[in-house]
Amino acid sequence: MTRGDADSSRARVGPVAPVLELHGVRAGYGQIEVLHGVDLSVAAGEVLALFGPNGAGKTTTLGVCSGQIRPSAGSVRLMGTMVNGARPHALARAGVCLIPEGRGIFPNLTVRENLRMATYSGVAYARVEERAFEQFPRLAERRTQLAGTLSGGEQQMLAISRGLATDPALLLLDELSMGLAPMIVAELYERVGEMAAAGLSILIVEQFAQSVLGVADRAAVMLGGRVQQVGEPESIAAALGGAYLDGH
């Protein structure tokens, strides 16, 4: 599947089709089922925050959306097109951009080479570099450095600059804030917010709601492999406080 396919199907189905739609998705690892029927949708231009405690299945859900994990049942639709079982690189080229948990960088490649990898999405290198360095000027100074030698915050900037510089149809962010100082998290989400304002569709996964309250349009809670609740970010966050957070 190519970029063009996805775009044309969007045109065909019209603006009513959500960018991402999961219906009754079951998936897991080997014999172990982790997702027991997940329903979720992200509308065009919408930012959906998905909260949930450790082990709830958030990463697994993103794995299904990005093609890394094949669902055993249910459907995954991307702009109306069923993409169950599509391979991750094909989905990536079709515009699904997952910034994985941890550090989504290649530690033994330089910053430049990391950005070079982002050009598989079909965007020219000059443009990727220009936009990445514009958003995170700190990366420009370190362009020839091995990514593994960057600080944690810089590594995360590099990771998400792939999402911000390649105009994806759908951006999936997995616990961006993990292990980073609050200030850096704020900076990262500021950039994400700018992209959201420009109309990018985003699914943000976080354990703690605080950092994304300003960015999300809608929020959902995942518990034990199911989406339990969907609603306004503020009310969800408040409910979360009682459910599993301790005053965050």
Partner 1 sequence: MSPNASDAVGRAERRDTAADVPRRRRTPVPVRQAVVLSGLAVGAVVVSAASWAGTPVTVGNVGGMVVVGLSLGAIYAVSASGLVVVYTTTGVFNFAQGAVGMYWAFVYWELRVNRGWPAPVALALVVLVLAPLGGVLLDRAVMRRLRNLPLVLQLMVTVGLMVAFMGIAATQWQGDRGRTVLPFFGHTGSFEVIGVTVTWHRLITILVAAAIALLLRLLLFRARLGVAMRAVVDSRSLAALNGANGEAVSATAWAIGSSLAAVAGILIAPESQLVVDVLTLVVIDAFAAAAVGRMRSLPWTFAGALLLGVGQQFIRRFLSFDDGFANMHEALPTILLFVVVILLPQAQLRARGVSAQLARRTLRLTDVKESTVGVAALFMLVLAWTGGTLPFTDAWSSVGINRGVTMMVTAIIMLSLVPLTGWAGQVSFAPLAFAGVGAVIFAKITGDTGSAYGLVLAAALTAPVGALMALPAVRLQGLYLALASMAFARGFELLFFTQTAVIDPNRGGRQFAPLSIGGWELTGTGRGYLLALTVVFGAMVTGLVALRRSRWGRRWVAMKDSEAAAATLGINVIETKVAVFVLSAAMAGFGGALFGLQVGTLNVLQFELLVGLPIVLLLVVGGVSLPAAALFGGVNTVLFIVIKDRWDYSWLSALEVLGPGIMAVVMVLNPAGAVAEIGRGFARFLPWRADARAAYAAEVAANREPEPGELGLSRPFTAADMVATERALSVANELARPGHDGAAAAMTVERPAP
Are 232 and 219 in contact by the 8 Å Cβ rule? The answer is yes
Cα 131 to the chain's mean position, in Å?
19
CB of 32 to ligand ADP, least distance (A): 6
- Pick the closer one to ligand ADP by CB: 225 or 233: 225
60 binds Mg ion (CB under 5 A): no
CB of 233 to partner 1, least distance (A): 26
Instruction: Kindly indicate which of the ranges 4-12, 56-64, 120-128, 155-163 contains the residues binding ligand ADP, using the contact rule CB under 6 A.
Output: 56-64
Query: Hey, what's the torsion of the CAs at 12, 13, 19, 24, to 10 degrees?
Result: -140
Q: Reduce the DSSP state of residue 3 to 3 states and report it.
A: helix
- Pick the closer one to ligand ADP by CB: 167 or 174: 174
Cα 103 to the chain's mean position, in Å?
13
- Residues 6 or more apart whose Cβ sits within 8 Å of residue 67: 83, 85, 86, 87, 88, 89, 90, 91, 92, 96
Helix (H) or strand (E) holding 32: strand 32-42
66 binds partner 1 (CB under 8 A): yes
Torsions phi, psi of 165, nearest 5? Answer: -100, -10
Alpha-carbon span 222 to 61, nearest angstrom: 10
60 binds ligand ADP (CB under 6 A): yes
Instruction: Kindly indicate which of the ranges 26-34, 99-107, 149-157, 190-198 contains the residues binding Mg ion, using the contact rule CB under 5 A.
Output: 99-107
Q: Quote the tokens at residue 175.
A: 């616990």
> Which partner from the list Mg ion, ligand ADP, partner 1, none does 26 bind, CB cut-off 5 to 8 Å by kind?
partner 1
The size of the interface with Mg ion (CB under 5 A), counted in residues, is 2
Alpha-carbon span 77 to 96, nearest angstrom: 12
82 binds partner 1 (CB under 8 A): yes
Q: Reduce the DSSP state of residue 48 to 3 states and report it.
A: strand
Per-residue contact flags (x/-) with ligand ADP for residues 2 to 41, judged by CB under 6 A = ---------------------------x--x-x-------
Residue with tokens 């959306």: 65
β-strand partners of 223: 226
CB of 227 to partner 1, least distance (A): 14
Cα 18 to the chain's mean position, in Å?
16
User: Contacting Mg ion (CB under 5 A), which of 17, 22, 56, 59?
Assistant: 59
Per-residue contact flags (x/-) with ligand ADP for residues 82 to 101, judged by CB under 6 A = --------------------
In the range 105-134, which residues lie near partner 1 by CB under 8 A? Answer: 105-109, 113, 116-122
Instruction: Kindly indicate which of the ranges 46-54, 68-76, 201-209, 227-235 contains the residues binding partner 1, using the contact rule CB under 8 A.
Output: 68-76
12 binds partner 1 (CB under 8 A): yes
| Contact residues: ligand ADP, CB under 6 A | 29, 32, 34, 52, 54-60
